[in-house]
Amino acid sequence: MYTYLLVPGRHHLLSNFMHDYFLQASNNRSIELIDGSQAEFDESICMVWAITSANHQNTRRNPLAGYRREAAVDEFMADLPCQYLTYHINDIGQSNRFADYIIKSIEVESRGSTLLTPDNTIVATSTPSVIELFETLGYKIAPIELSSRQPEQYRAARAWDILLELVAAGNNWRDSESYIQQMHPSSQRLLDRYKLAEQIIELHNDPLVGDEGDITETRDYEKYRQSFDTGAERKYAILGPHIRPGRIIDIGCATGSLLKQIDNDDRFRESDLYGIEVAKPLYDRCLQRLANGEFRNENTFFYQRNIMRGKLFPDNSVNTSISISLTHEIDSYLGRDSLHKFISQIFQQTAPGGVYINLDVTCPENPDEKVVIWLNHLDGQDADDQEYAIDRQTDYSEYLGKLSTLGLFKRFIKDFRKTEGDQIKDYELFEKDEQYFARLRRADAVEFMVTKDYQDSWYSEMHERFCYWPPSEWQRQLEAVGFSVDPASGAFQNDWINQNRFEGKLKLFIEIDGQLVPQDWPDTSVLMVARKP
């Protein structure tokens, strides 16, 4: 006879079918297995709920926090005549050790008091891949909704299917059949009490963030984190003089490094600091830093949010809003209308006398002017037509690192904005005196110059357009919503980039009467300081 009935799953919603299924098993002290036989339980039957990915929340795949899911389980079990235990299982991604990881996590979390083995435990799950993993370990399976493995068929809607039906119903979710007839009252009450249905629907309709809370699957977040951390002090030297005390928010805060610089500045000791980050890997790092006590200010808060899904703060309530390397991503992934909306939202949230500070890549003032760039063909090998799948980012990065500047240009032309159908078409590659040149728009030339060295996250960067607005257009757009632009605003060069990424690799010219006239290096960054009257 068996003692435990293990129910592994994310458990964001619970269904009436599940309740009836487990109620029958509890009353009868037996359950039908996937092979059609019956398994008997002893009098001390205990259901063990393993809430997987419990450390994830606010994503499509895991919209609800682990403690919310546990609360629903508590209500769900209220009228079942058996004992139960609930354990939170952290996410480990796709792994063949998933089943073993659950068993061992429960053993550790229970301090050895809950030891699940094939001899004392039946596993209740309808997910075929999970079934196979537990069967490999010798466990017998109660299939819940699954009625056939081959072909895969179900006798009732699974909890996740019900959730997706709720999402499809949108604002009419309360009238949906999934909510009224299929969802267990414990989940209904949870959604109603904390308005979680709206959160779930919003997350699934979010155009920017993927299932796991990432902006793009091809970004190397460790390298991304390092770049923000190492540059925080330099960026703060640029931004710091313009920050106003009070409510200070860093939108797209990455790992919180800039907020840490603000926290170290005694001018803002009495301020409230808010970090808003949409990418889960970066948001998790913010929470870790907060838990480690890295921030002196006890009024430091981090939220995982997509700012484009709605305002986070009341109108006229924010003294300083900061965005670093964010606005070009909004323009690239969501479009120009979303960038206009973002600026308008920032103005509405800014208190009178408050400031919005934006630091990002920039576009030259004369973007359509034709220029010529010299491309070094001797500092590496030439490009070829070999294709690299997205899951071979590391191989592709190594390949890119071996290319000459000319080779990188060829790959850039091939890859840049290809998915979006927005590739650079207006260019001419030519040879003169055994040297290689390209004739193209100034904005496109600068685009290549500032992008070519992001080889560790090439696939991600190829989606992003850096040259979108020149400073004059930024000023026009900010003033259009009501801001006053500070004279400190403007574009500037980066000496390190000039010396380490441009010198010896390329040169910039314009053509006058058939002659190539050298040009200065382009501005690569823009600082916009916009104040609300």
Write out pLDDT tens, residues 280-303.
889 999 999 999 999 999 889 999
Question: What are the structural domains of the chain?
Answer: 2-157 (3.40.50.620), 221-361 (3.40.50.150), 364-469+477-524 (no CATH)
Higher-confidence residue of 384 and 328: namely 328
Q: Which pLDDT band, with edges at 50, 70 and 90, does 266 fall under?
A: very high
Let me know: does 354 contact 320? Beta carbons within 8 Å: yes
Q: Which residues contact 108 (CB under 8 A, 6 or more apart)?
A: none
Higher-confidence residue of 391 and 82: namely 82
CA atoms in the 13 A half-sphere facing the CB of 503: 7
Per residue in 191-246, pLDDT (tens digit) is 999 999 998 988 787 555 444 444 444 444 455 455 556 689 999 999 999 999 99
Mean pLDDT, the chain, integer: 92
Nearest-angstrom CA–CA distance, 437 and 448: 13
- In this prediction, residue 360 carries a pLDDT of 97
Higher-confidence residue of 177 and 526: namely 526
- In this prediction, residue 229 carries a pLDDT of 65
Per residue in 84-98, pLDDT (tens digit) is 999 999 988 889 999
Task: Tell whether the model's pLDDT for residue 430 goes beyond 90.
Answer: yes
For CA atoms 338, 447, 361, 326, the dihedral sign is positive
Using a pLDDT cut of 70, give the percent of the chain over it: 95
Nearest-angstrom CA–CA distance, 371 and 519: 9
Mean pLDDT of the region 433-438: 96
Determine whether 33 is exposed, middle or buried from the number of CB atoms within 10 Å of its CB (0-12, 13-18, 19+). middle
CA atoms in the 13 A half-sphere facing the CB of 44: 3
Let me know: does 17 contact 52? Beta carbons within 8 Å: no
Task: Tell whether the model's pLDDT for residue 394 goes beyond 90.
Answer: no
Mean pLDDT of the region 479-500: 97
Mean pLDDT of the region 60-81: 94
- In this prediction, residue 223 carries a pLDDT of 54
Token pair for 122: 């039946």
487: cis peptide before it, omega within 30°?
no
Nearest-angstrom CA–CA distance, 442 and 470: 12
Mean pLDDT of the region 418-447: 96
Tell me the pTM: 0.70
Q: Which pLDDT band, with edges at 50, 70 and 90, does 385 fall under?
A: confident
Nearest-angstrom CA–CA distance, 191 and 195: 5
Nearest-angstrom CA–CA distance, 18 and 181: 13
- In this prediction, residue 214 carries a pLDDT of 47
Per residue in 139-157, pLDDT (tens digit) is 999 999 999 999 999 999 9
Higher-confidence residue of 387 and 116: namely 116
Mean pLDDT is lowest, of 53-62, 414-423, 466-475, 519-528, for: 53-62
Mean pLDDT of the region 317-339: 95
Mean pLDDT is lowest, of 160-174, 203-217, 271-285, for: 203-217
- In this prediction, residue 390 carries a pLDDT of 61
Nearest-angstrom CA–CA distance, 412 and 407: 9
- DSSP bridge partners of 9: 51
Let me know: does 415 contact 451? Beta carbons within 8 Å: no
Using a pLDDT cut of 90, give the percent of the chain over it: 81
- In this prediction, residue 60 carries a pLDDT of 83
Task: Tell whether the model's pLDDT for residue 500 goes beyond 60.
Answer: yes
Nearest to 363 by CA among 273, 251, 265, 449: 449
Mean pLDDT is lowest, of 170-179, 251-260, 422-431, 498-507, for: 170-179
Mean pLDDT is lowest, of 169-173, 217-221, 289-293, 428-432, for: 217-221
Mean pLDDT of the region 349-376: 97
Let me know: does 370 contact 439? Beta carbons within 8 Å: yes
- In this prediction, residue 244 carries a pLDDT of 96
Task: Tell whether the model's pLDDT for residue 260 goes beyond 50.
Answer: yes
| Alpha-helical segments (H) within 154-313 | 159-169, 177, 185-194, 196-204, 221-239, 257-264, 280-291
Task: Tell whether the model's pLDDT for residue 445 goes beyond 90.
Answer: yes
